[in-house]
Amino acid sequence: MAQRGVHYRRHSNATSVVRRIRASGGAQHPTNLPRSVRHRRLRSYHPRRRVTRVDFVSRLPFELVSSLILPSALMIPSRQTFAYLQVCRTWRQRVLQSVGFHFYSGARVTFGDKQIMLAYAPYITRIALGNPSELPLYFFSRSQFTCLQSLDLTLAFENDIHALIRLLQPIAAALKEIKLTISPRMSNAAVRLVSTSITQPLEENDIIGLLERFPSLQLLSLPHCQYSTPLSLMPQYCRYLDSLTYSSQTGVLEAMRYPRTDNAIGLHSVYVTAGENYHLGDIASLLASHCDTLTTIVLAGKMNHQSSSSRSSSTMLSQDAHFKHLNHLFFYPDDDDGGNVLLQWILKGAPNAREIEMAKCNVDNDAVYHTMKKMTNLESLSFALPSTAIISGLEYHASTLRHRSNLRSLSIDVHFSGNECPRAWRAVARLSNLRELFMQLRGATLDQEFVAFIEALAHGCPELRELILEAPMEFPTAIISKFPLYPKLQELTLGSPNFWNESLLPILQCPSLEALYVEREQMSEKVAEALAYLTGDAWLSH
């Protein structure tokens, strides 16, 4: 009604003319009106004349605008972003206050790119440039890049790094993530700093100089590092570091596999791939400095090298470190029993671990056994025999903790036959909460004792849902009749050289089995047809 009132006031003579026509008995159809009246009426109902601009943005709650209407980040320069900014003045301010702007440029930085970055400097959180050497050295010093936290830069030559450090000096203290990539046109390309690595190979002075210039880094990935000394110096320079990947190889492990969920400050994830010149003492020094905050430790590579000062290395590993927040520990040495001392040093101080994987290691430290008795949160464990301390820990979980044990997934590498093998089987068969079991039986003796273990496993682990058995020798066919005893078994894998005939058909009697993984070539045609819905062949034929 308000708009109609405005309309009648703007055309106040239209009403009087129409009334005079109606009073004189004229027709009411628009074509019967006088030409001037008809023209004014048609013009007044034109859609453009009736549209009014309403500033609805200022009436919306700020939280609604930022969380429901706007994306979390906008890329500039782009048409979509500029469309967001051109609605109205109030809307533009809301966008600038609640959205992070990411600037992306191609191979060359044009004059227009520079002007856009300067215009939106206080609002840009990330910049990706193809050739930062084209920026003047004073570029970041003359504007307020107060929100800039992340840089992704591609360099044409390694020598550009010297000018780049001078370019980034005004914002170095605020940066939290940096990624530097040498142009793929160079040999030995794609060296990264995550984030960062600069020269190839990285020397100790290069790394230490890098850490000094960027003290606020939160995510750091250093591939192709030749020495481990900077690891022991890391706590001096990177006080805000959250995740560290440090590798002797060009390819690095995926960082942030287990991101931290709390807001605590401190290093929480360490990924180290050791090389020839790495010393266990340097790695232990880094871990000990952050034992209060670490939640994930991944160690791989050559772990047999001791420090040049063996006395300092032994002193470091002889001191107890309490990794009270450590949840995930992965240890993959290149050599058998490599780094056993370092592994056991970590294990005995990690009573709250939830996931542990340690290949090729023989853990026989009594202190580790006493720590395993406290691991009530342990959910997943992977180890290799003999590892007497781990077997003793499993026996304690089975006999004392029983239902209080949270161990759900277990993987055992049986690469030799000995007294520990049947002892481990007896312990595993009493883990009542076990859901998944993987056994690699490379050195086990698969005799009647193994058949008895398969039967005991069915009675002692009623919650078992997935069973994987792999061996280089044939399984005794007597184990097949034991699988129907598993009430909740859903997936079964049999990896062996057996050629299965009708002796495999009792698998059909398993009450809950949904999938069977056996090589198609290792079954007779009749057996393969009978088990088609379990092996997946029935779905493939359709």
**Is the dihedral angle over the CA atoms 106, 112, 114, 120 positive or is it negative?**
negative
In this prediction, residue 43 carries a pLDDT of: 47
Rounded mean pLDDT of the chain? 76
Give the 3-state secondary structure of residue 391: helix
With 50 as the cut, is the pLDDT of residue 15 above it? no
Q: Is 84 or 152 the better-scoring residue by pLDDT?
A: 152
Judged by average pLDDT, the poorest of 79-88, 201-210, 308-317, 370-379 is: 308-317
Q: Give the separation between CA 470 and CA 449, rounded to whole angstroms.
A: 17
In this structure, is residue 499 part of a structural domain?
Answer: yes
In this structure, is residue 340 part of a structural domain?
Answer: no
Q: Is 194 or 356 the better-scoring residue by pLDDT?
A: 356
How confident is residue 482, by pLDDT bands cut at 50, 70 and 90?
A: very high
Average pLDDT score over residue span 120-140: 77
**Is the dihedral angle over the CA atoms 447, 453, 455, 458 positive or is it negative?**
negative
Q: Give the separation between CA 411 and CA 408, rounded to whole angstroms.
A: 10
Domain extent at residue 22? 2-50
Q: Are 214 and 240 in contact (CB under 8 A)?
A: no
Cα–Cα nearest to 505, from 486, 524, 490, 485: 524
Q: Is 255 or 237 the better-scoring residue by pLDDT?
A: 237
In this prediction, residue 68 carries a pLDDT of: 46
Residue 77: other Cβ atoms inside 10 A: 14
Q: Give the separation between CA 7 and CA 26, rounded to whole angstroms.
A: 24
How confident is residue 308, by pLDDT bands cut at 50, 70 and 90?
A: very low
With 60 as the cut, is the pLDDT of residue 9 above it? no
DSSP-H helix ranges across 262-387: 280-289, 310-318, 340-347, 366-372
Judged by average pLDDT, the poorest of 99-103, 431-435, 441-445 is: 99-103
In this structure, is residue 98 part of a structural domain?
Answer: no
In this structure, is residue 59 part of a structural domain?
Answer: no
Output the furthest CA–CA distance in the chain (Å, rounded).
119
The model's pTM? 0.68
In this structure, is residue 428 part of a structural domain?
Answer: yes
In this prediction, residue 246 carries a pLDDT of: 86
**Residue 135: both structure tokens together:** 């920026």
In this prediction, residue 306 carries a pLDDT of: 56
With 90 as the cut, is the pLDDT of residue 297 above it? yes
With 80 as the cut, is the pLDDT of residue 207 above it? no
Q: Is 17 or 219 the better-scoring residue by pLDDT?
A: 219
DSSP-H helix ranges across 169-258: 204-213, 229-237
Q: Give the separation between CA 254 and CA 400, rounded to whole angstroms.
A: 38
Q: What is the DSSP letter of 286?
A: H
How confident is residue 394, by pLDDT bands cut at 50, 70 and 90?
A: very high
Question: How many domains are contained in the chain?
Answer: 2
51 φ, ψ (degrees, to nearest 5): -75, 130
**Is the dihedral angle over the CA atoms 211, 214, 215, 221 positive or is it negative?**
negative
Q: Give the separation between CA 454 and CA 408, rounded to whole angstroms.
A: 18
How confident is residue 22, by pLDDT bands cut at 50, 70 and 90?
A: very low
Q: Is 533 or 31 the better-scoring residue by pLDDT?
A: 533
Q: Give the separation between CA 422 and CA 46, rounded to whole angstroms.
A: 91
Percent of the chain clearing pLDDT 70 (strictly above): 66
How confident is residue 139, by pLDDT bands cut at 50, 70 and 90?
A: confident
DSSP string, 367-392: HHHHHHTT-TT--EEEEES--HHHHH
Highest mean pLDDT among 74-83, 248-257, 324-333: 324-333
In this structure, is residue 129 part of a structural domain?
Answer: no
Q: Are 416 and 445 in contact (CB under 8 A)?
A: no
In this prediction, residue 2 carries a pLDDT of: 44
Average pLDDT score over residue span 453-458: 96
In this structure, is residue 215 part of a structural domain?
Answer: no
In this structure, is residue 207 part of a structural domain?
Answer: no
How confident is residue 206, by pLDDT bands cut at 50, 70 and 90?
A: low
Q: Establish how many alpha carbons lie within 13 A of residue 413's alpha carbon, considering only the half-sphere containing its beta carbon.
A: 12
Residue 107: other Cβ atoms inside 10 A: 10
With 50 as the cut, is the pLDDT of residue 542 above it? no
Between helix 280-289 and helix 310-318 the angle, nearest 10°, is: 40
